[in-house]
Structure 1
Amino acid sequence: MCTRIFNNFNKENNYLTTARNMDWATQMPTTIFAFKVNNEEEIIKSGTSPQNENSLIWTAKYNSIVTMVGTKAPFGASDGINSAGLVANLLYDSSAKYSRKDGSSCKNLDVLRWVQFVLDTCCSVKEVVAAFSESAQTQIQLIGGIVPGSDKLAALHLAVSDKFGDSAIIEVHKGKYFIYNNPEFRVMTNEPSYAKQIELNQFWRWQWSDKNFFPSNTLPGGPFPSDRFARASYYLNHLYETKNIPDSLTQSKSVVMNASVPVNFKSNNPQFPNIAQTLWSTVACHNNLKYYFYNTRTMGEIYIDLNQLEKFPSTVSKLVVISEDDHQFINHELFGYQNENFIEALDPFASELILA
């Protein structure tokens, strides 16, 4: 399970941050990639591997920092920010269904490359919504893949937010995109559907409101998605307005940590295998383009600065934060600013050929 929040308090001063938890039943190898747009040469990427005539092909327009599952191919883009201040997060969605009857004429995009496509090509939530709106339904067909390092199908939904204070959630049911684009929709967990999450949250919002003459400030404390949705929503809506960017960052971090699941959490109910420990958390600042990563199995926090592209060694660079050696996971003890610790890498989604 995962939790994601968008803290858009103090929009007048533009202190905007997005935070999320990444949960999984077992540890997962994880790599952070840095992508620089080369003005002298187009960076062309493919929506599938192997690439074919039905693959979605795009040209990267923005620099980005992206956390990916895996340390070697195949990779899965999970979370990131681009140089326009757009943030994209993928979360597990057990009800996601990608195929549809009329999908044969569409260009295919692997759901594990969805985040990268959005960060490469869009500068705002408005542009993301347009790319997957009803008028564009027949253009892009999401296809499912296997989560790297596991045997689980990648059933996912997408959340995006930007420096203009806009946020949206996109779910996919039978190949059709359902978009929730509203300033009030700032919390997201895995299940049930977002429509049902909104419905359930109305109960809690009423409980905490001035309209309730016998208000209750009790909160569900369990690890289930609906519990965590209510907790994150409660705290996010009971915060003082932020006064500066550090305030917004630490607010977002504290709220999303409150909705995390402890390391080595053991669920006693085999009916719910998806209730899992939080592996890592991220906080992204839309305004100053800094990206923070917290590995729950280490005591340090790291950050990457998209304003200092010259520190990266190449057009594509990487930093391994969780590696795997002989089926043993290594959680690298990293601290602080990391731009200078990236090493040269190959683009995991580079186009394999230019189609006529």
Structure 2
Amino acid sequence: MCTRVLWNTNDVAVFTGRTMDWPESTQPLIVGFPRGRERDGISPAGFISDSNPLRWTSRHASLVTTIYGLGTVDGFNEAGLAGHGLYLQETDFGPRDPAKPGVHAGLWLQYLLDQAATVAEALQLMDEIQVLKISAHGHDANLHLALEDIGGDSAIIEFAQGRLVVHHGRQYTLMTNDPTYDEQLKLLSQQDFSQPSSEMPLPGNVNPVARFQRAAYYSALLPAPGSQREAIAGVMAIMRNVSVPFGAPYHDFGVYNTEYRTVTDLTNRMYFFELTTSPNVIWVEMDRLKLDGGPIAVNPYDDSLVGDITDRFAPHDLPF
């Protein structure tokens, strides 16, 4: 369970917020990957097997948040492409086509960040590969992706009944979870939350439909920012509003607590991260990272982290 909000209509920068909602810690690391890294679509070694794995060498450096040490679920690259993997129960990647190189769902986003500079380029890459279903820690990686680029372009990528479904355009700024994006848009059209008023009833539930509608309502109310600081605060406020608080029996209806929130500033290549169990917001300036060697990383569960953590990154071995 997660939420993504893109703000591509202000005069300051292109901003995206996301929440990570999950039944347990995803063991996140904030990682800087250099360009030129060789990868394959079934790493770590022995995690899954496939007769035709995708193999590539990264064209772009990236700054990402990893999940379970097995792949990437959020982040952006130096060229100005960002992406976010969210859960979609109805995901169906379809039967294996052995003629297409395969990449497992945990590395799907990382592949696109490694190789594409824009949303359009990323969509072209989708014609050449097949995403493979995996499970980790007892959970299926039923993902759909939201992509955006420094020009404000956006796309939502899903697999429904084994078929690739893409919504491509600047207008696709919101995403949560089930139902599929077609159905979410139909539900949103029943009441125009993009035209908020004080009389409009606003859903307060934590389910994906309510969060989608609430994100639409508050996104429409964002004031024109006078600075990057104001814009970041505005997006983070929405992400807090659509987060799932601790304490209620959400597991009973398939919704989980929010583990962390991120805000990406694509224009200035900055990444803001808020762990829900910490009172501190931390951030990274990608342009200051030393990405001329191997991967470098920070563990956001380090209680000493606060503010700018760009200088706190250290070499870190990852299996992908």
TM tier, shorter chain? over 0.9
- The corresponding residue for 2:244 is 261
Per the TM alignment, residue 333 of structure 1 is displaced from its structure 2 partner at its CA by 4.2
Q: Which of 216, 219, 237 does residue 220 from structure 2 map onto?
A: 237
- The corresponding residue for 2:169 is 182
The yes-or-no answer on 1:281 pairing with 2:279 is no
Per the TM alignment, residue 53 of structure 1 is displaced from its structure 2 partner at its CA by 4.9
- The corresponding residue for 1:341 is 312
Identity over aligned pairs, percent = 28
Q: Distance in 2 between matches of 1:317 and 1:175?
A: 36
The yes-or-no answer on 1:318 pairing with 2:297 is yes
Output one character per residue of 1:84-121: Cα deviation in whole Å (capped at 9) or x when no partner. Answer: 121100000000011236x1211001010011111111
- The corresponding residue for 1:119 is 113
The yes-or-no answer on 1:78 pairing with 2:73 is yes
Q: Distance in 2 between matches of 1:249 and 1:342?
A: 22
Per the TM alignment, residue 217 of structure 1 is displaced from its structure 2 partner at its CA by 1.7
Amino acid in the other structure paired with 2:55: I
Cα–Cα, structure 1 residues 220 and 275, in superposed 2: closer, same or farther, change >3 Å?
same
Per the TM alignment, residue 161 of structure 1 is displaced from its structure 2 partner at its CA by 0.7
Cα–Cα, structure 1 residues 206 and 153, in superposed 2: closer, same or farther, change >3 Å?
closer
- The corresponding residue for 2:185 is 198
Runs of 4 or more above 6 Å deviation? none
Q: Please identify the structure whose Cα radius of gyration is greater.
A: 1
Output one character per residue of 1:108-157: Cα deviation in whole Å (capped at 9) or x when no partner. Answer: 0101001111111111111112222xxx2xx311111123xx21111110
Per the TM alignment, residue 44 of structure 1 is displaced from its structure 2 partner at its CA by 1.5
Q: Distance in 1 between matches of 2:289 and 2:275?
A: 23
2:196–2:217 Cα contact (<8 Å) kept: no
1:142–1:175 Cα contact (<8 Å) kept: no
Q: Distance in 1 between matches of 2:194 and 2:118?
A: 34
1:88–1:115 Cα contact (<8 Å) kept: yes
Q: Which of 12, 29, 40 does residue 46 from structure 1 map onto?
A: 40
Per the TM alignment, residue 347 of structure 1 is displaced from its structure 2 partner at its CA by 4.0
Amino acid in the other structure paired with 1:110: H
Q: Distance in 2 between matches of 1:89 and 1:64?
A: 13
1:167–1:186 Cα contact (<8 Å) kept: yes
Instruction: Say which SS state the counterpart of residue 311 (structure 2) adopts.
Output: helix
Instruction: Say which SS state the counterpart of residue 113 (structure 1) adopts.
Output: helix
For structure 1, list consecutive stretches of 5 or more residues without a partner in the other structure.
323-330, 350-356
For structure 2, list consecutive stretches of 5 or more residues without a partner in the other structure.
none
The number of aligned residues is 316
Q: Distance in 2 between matches of 1:144 and 1:206?
A: 35
Amino acid in the other structure paired with 1:81: F
The yes-or-no answer on 1:104 pairing with 2:98 is yes
Q: Which of 138, 142, 145 does residue 155 from structure 1 map onto?
A: 142
Per the TM alignment, residue 348 of structure 1 is displaced from its structure 2 partner at its CA by 2.6
Instruction: Say which SS state the counterpart of residue 150 (structure 2) adopts.
Output: coil
Amino acid in the other structure paired with 2:13: Y
RMSD (Å) for aligned C-alpha atoms: 2.0
Cα–Cα, structure 1 residues 294 and 57, in superposed 2: closer, same or farther, change >3 Å?
same
